[in-house]
Each structure stands twice: as structure tokens, then as C-alpha cells.
Amino acid sequence: MATAAARDTAGSPTAQEAPAGLGDPAEFQRAFDAAVAADERIEPRDWMPDAYRATLVRQIAQHAHSEIIGMQPEANWITRAPSLRRKAILMAKVQDEAGHGLYLYSAAETLGVGRDELLDKLHSGRQKYSSIFNYPTLTWADVGAIGWLVDGAAITNQVPLCRCSYGPYARAMVRVCKEESFHQRQGYELLLALSKGTPEQHAMAQDAVDRWWWPSLMMFGPPDDESQHSAQSMAWKIKRHSNDELRQRFVDICVPQAESLGLTLPDPDLRWNEERGHYDFGAIDWSEFWEVLKGNGPCNEERLSRRRKAHEEGAWVREAAAAHAAKHRNDETGATRA
Ligand SMILES: [Fe+2]
Ligand SMILES: [Fe+2]
């Protein structure tokens, strides 16, 4: 967005606070609307409506929290990976998720909220993370099912976010999506090895897919007619496709992949619909989704208490890093003076 009024404004005034002499609030709103309509990026220094900012903070924070909580179910298997190769892949993947969290917390910071504040809201349950991470990883095959289905669903959701109207979020997504595609492929390859292995390994892969399929479909959020924020987010071009559109896209991608894997998807109603040009699929149990969201999933408590503990135990690292940064700044100042 490149209107002179918005560019010349230090910080990001709200419409009510738009400084005198730089145009009236309605002008700021018009410039914002025109930028969104023209598919231009909104940048941190541009004026934006308060509700747009609040929506982005909520969405980016939830996304960042999901990345770091999402490290837990898979980290559970790092020490028990069946080979050095698998261990190295899984460690790289889990580390990537920490990195995704960092890009996203940084993107949220450009909107004027601090990382401490966001983490505090996560730890006190005032902000959510994706419910998918409240399911347990019972066997090694779950690492494959998560990569194939959970990271696969994440990619389907996130590729359109690379064109999101808010610049820092869109740019973070470009790199995240590249890494997610590695995550998805390692999961697929892991499941393929199990599926073509012994009958026990095949059964383990099938069991994991049976447990992860429906929760993965829920990752796209409630149906369009029940989704609170969708319409406004689409008008602002934060979201580019509705929940149901993305869910359908994901199902259409997964069905042939499941066939190549030699595995079945646990849905008797899944069949190609010639007329629609899409796969039909069965009804999703939304009562399960709402229960997990309310905090009653199998691992909600475990995930949050582990996160809080990790945060407390990492306090000395944050303090040391801050002290080091302060010392570095002082050294630099000293050098300049000398
Ligand atoms: Fe990620
Ligand atoms: Fe991932």
C-alpha cells in the first residue's frame, strides 16, 4: 500500500487517531480498501483497520503456537526412531517446526504485539493452537501419518496464505511452505516403506491413517456456514479460499495418494463424483472437534503443561541471550566511541 498519507505516518495510527493534516479517517480507510482491492500488500507501517490488525494477530498467533506445540507429538519418537536415517530426518523436521514458530512470532511482532505476551496467552489458555496436536502418537507409523496428512493439510491451507494481503505473513509462508513440502514427502515415504513391509508394518501404517484421517479433515476448520471469521477474512484477502473448498481440495489430493500407498482411507462414503469432478466424502463428527477445542481432547493438558515447563526451564537461556545481546550492544557503542 503506497498512499502518501499512510507512508508518511510514523507508526500505525488507528482510524480515530489519524493525524491532523494527513487526511481524514475515511481517507485512510479508502486507501486501505483500494490497496486490498488492487492485490497490493499491506505492510507494517501502513494504516490498517483495528479489526484487520486484531484478526491477523489472532490468526498468526494461533499459527505460531501450533508450530511449536506441534513439535511435541513427533519429538516423542525421536529417541525411538528405527534407524539413524529416520532419526536425522525427524530431528530436522521437528527443528523446522520451531523455526516456523519463530518466523510467525516475528510476523506477529510487526503488528505491535510482543512474543512474551503471545506466549503468556498460550500458556494461560487464552489463545489456541490447532486441535490436531491434542491427539497422541501411539506408534512409529504416526510419524508417517502426521507428515503425510497433517503437514499435507497444513500445505493445502498455507499455499494460498503466500498471497495473503499482509506482507510479513505472506512472506513467512513462502519459506514455511517449502519446508512443509519436505515434511509431507518424508511422511509419505515413511508410510510407503511400512505399507510395503511386513504384514505387521502394513497394519501399523493402516492403523495410523485410520486414526489421523478424520482429525486432519477437521484441520480446515468448521463448515463454511458455521465459520465465524471466514467472510470478513476473505474480504480482506487474508483468506483466499473457504474452509470447505480447501477441505475438498485436500480430499481430492489424498485419495489417489492413498491408493499409491496401498492404504485405505477410513470412510465408506468416499467415492468419485463425476458430475462435481470431486470426491464425495462422509460426514465429519463435529462434536469431536468442538470437544477437543474446548480442551477435552486426549492430550490437551499434557501438551500445555509440557509447554509451560519448557518455558520455565528455558528462562535462564532467555536471560543469558538478553545479557549477551546487551553486552554486544555496549561493546559496539564502545567501539564507535573509541
Ligand atoms: Fe510447520
Ligand atoms: Fe511441518
User: Minimum-distance ligand to the CA of 67?
Assistant: 1
| Position 335 pLDDT exceeds 70 | no
What is the Å distance from ligand 1's center to 6 Cα? 33
Dist CA 204 CA 202 (whole Å): 5
Residues in Cβ contact with 162 at an 8 Å cutoff, skipping those fewer than 6 apart: 170, 173, 174, 177
What is the Å distance from ligand 1's center to 63 Cα? 9
Task: Report the pLDDT averaged over residues 153-157.
Answer: 96
What is the Å distance from ligand 1's center to 8 Cα? 36
Quick one: pLDDT band at residue 231, thresholds 50, 70, 90?
confident
Q: What is the mean pLDDT of the chain?
A: 91
Residues in Cβ contact with 306 at an 8 Å cutoff, skipping those fewer than 6 apart: 72
List, for residues 79-107, the tens digit of each pLDDT value. 999 999 999 999 999 999 999 999 999 99
Quick one: pLDDT band at residue 228, thresholds 50, 70, 90?
confident
Quick one: pLDDT band at residue 229, thresholds 50, 70, 90?
confident
What is the Å distance from ligand 2's center to 325 Cα? 30
What is the Å distance from ligand 1's center to 189 Cα? 18
What is the Å distance from ligand 2's center to 147 Cα? 7
pLDDT at 226: 85
pLDDT at 192: 98
What is the Å distance from ligand 2's center to 263 Cα? 22
User: Minimum-distance ligand to the CA of 148?
Assistant: 2
What is this structure's pTM?
A: 0.89
List, for residues 247-304, the tens digit of each pLDDT value. 999 999 999 999 999 999 999 999 999 999 999 999 999 999 999 988 899 999 999 9
Q: How many CB atoms lie within 10 A of CB 118?
A: 22
pLDDT at 334: 65
* Positions of E strands within the chain: 271-273, 278-280
pLDDT at 213: 98
More confident residue, 90 or 14: 90
Task: Report the pLDDT averaged over residues 135-145.
Answer: 97
Report whether 108 contacts 57 (CB < 8 A).
yes
Quick one: pLDDT band at residue 2, thresholds 50, 70, 90?
very low
What is the Å distance from ligand 1's center to 26 Cα? 39
User: Minimum-distance ligand to the CA of 184?
Assistant: 2
What is the Å distance from ligand 2's center to 204 Cα? 22
pLDDT at 21: 52
The cell for 293 is 477445542
What is the Å distance from ligand 2's center to 11 Cα? 34
User: Minimum-distance ligand to the CA of 149?
Assistant: 2
SS3 of 91, please?
helix
Which residue intervals of 76-226 are DSSP H helices?
Answer: 84-109, 115-123, 141-145, 152-158, 167-195, 199-218
More confident residue, 258 or 225: 258
User: Minimum-distance ligand to the CA of 183?
Assistant: 2
What is the Å distance from ligand 2's center to 3 Cα? 37
What is the Å distance from ligand 1's center to 72 Cα? 12
| Position 311 pLDDT exceeds 50 | yes
User: Minimum-distance ligand to the CA of 74?
Assistant: 2
pLDDT at 338: 45
Which residues are in the CB-under-5-Å shell of ion ligand 2?
Answer: 151, 180, 183
Task: Report the pLDDT averaged over residues 8-26.
Answer: 52
Task: Report the pLDDT averaged over residues 129-145.
Answer: 96
pLDDT at 23: 67
pLDDT at 24: 80
| Position 18 pLDDT exceeds 90 | no
Percent of the chain with pLDDT over 90: 85
